[in-house]
Structure 1
Amino acid sequence: MPGIDPNFLCHKISVFREVKPVTQRKRMMGEERKKAVEAEASKLLEAGFIREIQHTTWLDNVVMVKKANGKWRMCTDYTDLNKACPKDAYPLSNIDRLVDGTADHTFLTFLDAYSGYNQIRMHPRDEDKTAFVMEFANYCYQVMPFGLKNVETTYQRLMDKIFGNQIGKNMKVYVDDMVVKSADTLSHVVDLDEVFHALRKHQMRLNPDKCVFGVSGSKFLGFMLSSRGIEANPDKCQAIIDMRSPSNLKEVQKLADRLTALSHFLPYECESSFQIFKERLGTPPVLAKLTPGREVILYLAVSGEAISAGMIQEHDGQQQPVYFIS
């Protein structure tokens, strides 16, 4: 099985001593999911990523997630195991600094590892902790699977060890996102040669379908990078444009999450509007109950970007708001 030499780095699972292993009860699965699980497990067995296990400590269920292209992704529910594991405090780089340090370069190459997590071996003594239940047998991973706690930090640790001479000079890496940056063509060729030498040395394989070489700009960590600088990711912008106005808590949270990803690009006017909004919330108006049969006054406010209305009724000679909409 090709991949990173386990003597160089492998993934270890630490479990709190007082925690007892959990064996999940086998969950029922529909026929379509069963067939997808069997097909995926056959591929993993053939690749040497998993092996059959008879005596288990921890045992978890398989979860099938349908991808955007209609195909299935096989995951494992490591919820119980992850709760029992302490957090690996290995530092991850600051995304803003990585993006700032990559922009304004003439030549960029974006690299993607082929099943990067699976190129890292599990430590032999921890393989049994990754066990999962199938229809007629139990299996465990011999390589680092998705879904385990601390796999991101293990991967970042690997990147820092492999590209220690390039990171900070001609390369930026955040977990499995890699970019090589250069000022001119000749420098870029030299920089790529250094990177490929490191990859060959440690037998790390790339996915050619997802690598982009010698371009002036592309997506990196949720941003668009180019020689012009840092731009908002158009996909994230379009996702907000296509949203309907939020009408419940879940939709408001969804909007907030998407706006957070674009917070760097929101102009000062947005902050000013937010402060005004908070001031208004400090002294909100008291709405009067609509009195049937009494005259209703409707105030309209229209601009090039918005329209709003206020419904008013008079009580004892004073106008009182009944309802606002915008």
Structure 2
Amino acid sequence: MEEYIAEALKSGFIRPSTSPAAAGFFFVEKKDGGLRPCIDYRGLNNVTVKFRYPLPLVPSALEQLREAIIYTKLDLRSAYNLIRIKEGDEWKTAFHTSRGHYEYQVMPYGLTNSPAIFQSFINEIFKDLLNQFVIAYIDDILIYSRSEAEHIDHVQIVLSRLLQNKLYVKAEKCEFHVKQTSFLGYCISHHGVKMEEMKVQAVTEWPQPTTVKELHRFLGFANFYRRFIRNYSSVASPLTSLLKGKPTRLGWTKEATNAFIDLKERFTSAPILKHPDPGLPFIVDVDASDCGIGAVLSQRTGQPGKLHPCAFFSRKLTAAERNYDVGNKELLSMKAAIEEWRHWLEGAVHPFQIITDHKNLEYIQNAKRLNPRQARWALFFTRFQFTVTYRPGSKNCKADALSRRYDLPTEHFSSESIIPRSVILAPVSWDIMEELHQEQEREPPPAHCPPDKQYVPLGLRQRIMQWIHTSISAGHPGISRTLHLLQNSFWWPAMAKEVTAYVKSCPVCAQSKTPKELPSGLLKPLPIPQRPWSHLSIDFVTDLPP
């Protein structure tokens, strides 16, 4: 600590302070064995106005690497400390140590807005290079190119840009001109995206959980890579069911043991998901069972034209959807798959092919008689160019496997693919979901958060409640209904109390609500006034919205 304080004072990062604020100071170990200074700014963060600058969505960023064959990875040195605190606000960052009381003159780690501020800073520097050959995620920079010669120029451009802005890299953590690298938790190469080998080894050696906390830790790790595992939610359901009701002790079962072993085996054999190539035709395998729907997005690659997966999709049927007949369930699987991957399929260069084991779907595009639901879906299909091909169920095993396993007892399932898209209650606002993921980066879910729910950080709870309560499909429901809709997908501490307060303060609900009480007061004739201004009459306007 003494060494850090002396060095930070010398470099001008900190200065002695007389501030009334005093946050706790400590060190955490870094991956390279060094120590990173950290300050407990939770009190300051709770009252800080949030800067809503978006952080890049990792899966979306990785989609840019489709034609890249060579990579360079850079890690910036002391990134946050390169941005100065606004003059006059330094006192807010004050911290105390055994050496004395100090405050930062530069942006420290631990402030809620630090990631967003630095992301906006780095995006401004590389604004003309992003999505061309650069991905910048806070202080991690990836340069990707389609050839060796092109890559040399790209690296020189990026390094020159960093030098111009007095940004420096940690040479020991950089990789130059490599065919394969690890970036943001994934192993990337020209073949596609896969799990990091170190993470695969960690899964194979993972001991069976013995406590609730250990199970939370395993499921949290597994959930990060669920996009590589077909039917992840169904396979993991015996494990997630153990956490239902917030137990304090782990009631391990034989089914949980089988699921734990099965998950570990699936992770070690997880496929490399190919980068989708818009120049090649897409193939979508779809299927439905009594309990779920599933789909696989694929493309043919290589000389033999081998079919390679690009993304998996599966979800549980709702109670209403389970009442559909077989044909409508199959049609639903087709509609859901197209909707999930519409960012690739809409406007595709080539018409894509849908493969189904339900022969009647071959005629859906030319059907003359449709019920209202089918008519709506048929209108949606007109935005896409595709053909439907019948394949018997015995040969349509990929999508079939994704739908069949939903007869197991499952918790609420949030489907994911290479680019996750949450479908919760109504058409989802991308802005809200992006903000939610960004806030979760800054405020991770607590250990007791249910693994099948999205944790909502403090700064977004009001907006999430407004979004659910005022959506067209919800229509300003009451307290119980609003809470139920939120609990289907979200969680945060004291949710019921906050939802109750929000619904009671909703002005639309207050205006629409019919009062149940009789008007106060008794109507009777007033005496005739003797002179002007001897009596004054006043009307009270009541039942105004809060």
TM-score by length of 2: 0.42
Map 1:218-257; keep pairs closer than 5 Å.
218-257=181-220
Distance 1:97 1:165 in 2: 18
The match for 2:72 among 105, 109, 112 is: 109
Q: What residue is the counterpart of 1:81 in the other structure?
A: 44
**Which fold has the larger relative contact order, with Cα–Cα distance below 8 Å and residues 6 or more apart in sequence?**
1
> Residue 62 and residue 228 in structure 1: after superposition, are their counterparts in 2 closer, same or farther (change >3 A)?
same
- Give the residue type in structure 2 aligned to 1:123: K
Distance 1:267 1:141 in 2: 48
Distance 1:159 1:261 in 2: 26
Distance 1:70 1:195 in 2: 28
Post-superposition shift, 1:57? Answer: 3.5
Deviations 1:202-230 (A, max 9, x none): 11111111111111111111100011111
> Residue 272 and residue 257 in structure 1: after superposition, are their counterparts in 2 closer, same or farther (change >3 A)?
closer
The match for 2:91 among 128, 133, 144 is: 128
Distance 1:93 1:131 in 2: 30
> Residue 193 and residue 148 in structure 1: after superposition, are their counterparts in 2 closer, same or farther (change >3 A)?
same
Distance 2:229 2:15 in 1: 50
- Give the residue type in structure 2 aligned to 1:243: W
The answer to whether the 8 Å contact 2:16/2:102 transfers is yes
The answer to whether the 8 Å contact 1:236/1:258 transfers is no
Distance 1:227 1:133 in 2: 49
The answer to whether the 8 Å contact 1:52/1:139 transfers is yes
The match for 2:59 among 88, 96, 121 is: 96
Q: Secondary structure at the match of 1:147?
A: coil
Q: Secondary structure at the match of 2:38?
A: strand
Q: What residue is the counterpart of 1:321 in the other structure?
A: none
- Give the residue type in structure 1 aligned to 2:217: K
Q: What residue is the counterpart of 2:6 in the other structure?
A: 42
- Give the residue type in structure 2 aligned to 1:264: R
The answer to whether the 8 Å contact 1:104/1:226 transfers is no
- Give the residue type in structure 1 aligned to 2:102: Y
> Residue 272 and residue 51 in structure 1: after superposition, are their counterparts in 2 closer, same or farther (change >3 A)?
closer
Q: Secondary structure at the match of 1:124?
A: coil
Distance 1:238 1:268 in 2: 22
Distance 2:34 2:54 in 1: 34
- Give the residue type in structure 2 aligned to 1:42: A
The answer to whether the 8 Å contact 1:62/1:77 transfers is yes
Distance 1:72 1:195 in 2: 28
The match for 2:174 among 211, 225, 232 is: 211
Deviations 1:242-292 (A, max 9, x none): 221122211111111110121121124774674243169xxxxxxxxxxxx
The answer to whether the 8 Å contact 2:58/2:184 transfers is yes
The answer to whether the 8 Å contact 2:90/2:105 transfers is yes
- Which structure dedicates a bigger proportion of its chain to helix? 2
- Give the residue type in structure 2 aligned to 1:248: T
Unaligned runs of 5+ in 1: 1-36, 281-326
Q: What residue is the counterpart of 1:289 in the other structure?
A: none
- Which structure dedicates a bigger proportion of its chain to strand? 1
The answer to whether the 8 Å contact 2:233/2:410 transfers is no
Deviations 1:64-105 (A, max 9, x none): 335567654432111111111122111111111111212541
The answer to whether the 8 Å contact 1:99/1:220 transfers is no
Q: What residue is the counterpart of 1:65 in the other structure?
A: 28
The match for 2:230 among 263, 267, 272 is: 267
RMSD of aligned residue pairs (Cα, Å): 2.1
* Runs of 4+ that moved beyond 6 A: none
Post-superposition shift, 1:122? Answer: 1.5
Return 159-168 or 63-72, whichever deviates more.
63-72
- Give the residue type in structure 2 aligned to 1:47: S
Q: What residue is the counterpart of 1:154 in the other structure?
A: 117
The match for 1:52 among 12, 16, 20 is: 16
Post-superposition shift, 1:125? Answer: 1.6
Q: What residue is the counterpart of 2:408 in the other structure?
A: 277
Q: Secondary structure at the match of 1:219?
A: strand
Post-superposition shift, 1:240? Answer: 2.1
Post-superposition shift, 1:193? Answer: 2.2
- Give the residue type in structure 2 aligned to 1:129: K
Equivalent pairs, count: 243
The answer to whether the 8 Å contact 2:188/2:194 transfers is yes
Distance 1:69 1:90 in 2: 30
Distance 1:150 1:156 in 2: 10
> Residue 117 and residue 279 in structure 1: after superposition, are their counterparts in 2 closer, same or farther (change >3 A)?
closer
Q: What residue is the counterpart of 2:104 in the other structure?
A: 141
Distance 1:269 1:89 in 2: 32
Q: What residue is the counterpart of 1:11 in the other structure?
A: none
The answer to whether the 8 Å contact 2:21/2:93 transfers is yes
- Give the residue type in structure 2 aligned to 1:39: E
> Residue 39 and residue 234 in structure 1: after superposition, are their counterparts in 2 closer, same or farther (change >3 A)?
same
Distance 1:72 1:161 in 2: 30
Distance 2:131 2:113 in 1: 24
